[in-house]
Copies of this chain bind each other. A is one copy, B any other.
Amino acid sequence: MPIRTVLLGAGPGAAYFSAGIERLKMGEIESYGIPFGNLFRSYRPEDIQIVGVFDVDNKKIGLDMYSLTTKLLNDENVPKTLKDIEILRGLHCKSLQGLPIDAMGLDDIIGDSNIAMNEFISLLDKLKPDVIVNIITTEKQIQVNNESEFIKLAKSCNGTASLAYAYAAAEYSRLHNRVSFINLTPPLLANSPGVVSYYEKVGGLIFGDDAATGATPLTADLLEHMAERNRKVNSVAQFNIGGNMDFLSLTEPERNKSKENTKGSIVNDILGYDAPHYIKPTGYLEPLGDRKFIAMHIEYISFGGFTDEIVVTGRINDKANLGGVMASVIPITKAYIDRGYKGTVSSINRFFMKKPGPLGTKNVSRIIAYNELMKELKALDII
């Protein structure tokens, strides 16, 4: 059975994901890079059907995913089936302000955010998604503590586009079809008590926040490696530099702060003490493209008071990694919806997210989160 999926944000993440999913369906590629990819049974990545993609960039709206993907992947051979997926106008809420993009959302065009919201919900009703995935450009972080604050910020477009989208999805969930909303960006949704309780009420599921791709999951596992040997970590430095919009947008301090917050907490959560650390997206360097360069330095004390050091460097395609996360988390959360889950599910967030919700959830190493989730998925007969 197809898993009807809507993507919010027609950037490289959407392009890598949709090209990969279509290639997977056609048997062109293996399920490499999809966690649990070799274990899925009735809910499978191949069942994902992208039914619509929303964006607010005037240059993208109206295009199909084939032409977008051809350009963003710089690849002439992307699957033709992507021609059937249209890029539609979504909600803006000024989320791209300050960036060099000619952006216009339904809210900008209609001029009334309330009406725009309803318009967006009825668009959702036409597409009938089971899963909605948020991969728009990084916004600032707002923690929403109660439902009325959530509703107010969302309907007025005074919070973030992510909040507005999450609210629209909840309303769609309440009125039409119970949906899984997956927030793979830093703004706090699954970490906002007001959002999670509203989803619980309407019978939807919200997951997040910030997909655990790139160097941070690796850092988590390396820190766990240290912690288990009772090594004292003196310092952790982690640099990232890349050439896509993610990095360009981080040249704005508030967006950068947002990204930094979801990364730093792993140190204290895993080591049990706040080892001095510098873990930040560092800069923008256009030629690196989607394949960012990472560098990490960890110094620690081992037995007898001796000091060791390790350095990790690498070239990592964040967007391909994100595609793998999406291809895994979409069928999983659909299965949870079908099994009647509501609100959020921390075991899923703990493996897939940098800042796992609900609020207060501790980061553990990915290896441990993986094994716990695997047990749960087996118990639920999902893998």
B228 touches A218 (CB 8 A): no
A305, B29: Cβ atoms under 8 Å?
Answer: yes
CB pair A304 B29 closer than 8 Å: yes
In angstroms, Cα B224 to Cα A306, docked, is: 27
Given contacts A228-B35, A302-B317, contact A371 B368 (CB under 8 A): yes
Partner of A225 from B17, B315, B366 at Cβ < 8 Å: B366
Which residues from 315 to 338 on chain A have a C-beta closer than 8 Å to any C-beta of chain B? 315-317, 320-321, 323-324, 327
The A interface is mostly helix, strand or loop, or mixed, namely mixed
| Residues from chain B with Cβ under 8 Å of A320 in the complex | 302-304, 306, 308
Residues of chain B lying within 8 A (CB to CB) of residue A221: 221-222, 224-225, 367
Most buried by B among A229, A295, A316, A367: A229
Interface extent on A, as a size class? 35 or more
Distance (whole angstroms) from the CB of A166 to the closest CB of chain B: 25
Assess whether A302 is in contact with B231, with CB atoms less than 8 Å apart: no
* Number of copies of this protein chain within its complex: 4
Q: A89-97, A126-134, A185-193, A281-289: which one contacts chain B?
A: A281-289
A303–B367 contact, CB under 8 A? no
Selected from B286, B309, B367, the residue in CB contact (under 8 A) with A276 is B286
B32 touches A367 (CB 8 A): no
Q: Give A228 to B35 CA distance when docked, in angstroms.
A: 6
> A231: which of B32, B287, B295, B308 is its contact (CB, 8 Å)?
B32
6 residue pairs bridging A and B, Cβ less than 8 Å apart:
A17-B303, A30-B232, A221-B221, A288-B299, A306-B320, A368-B371
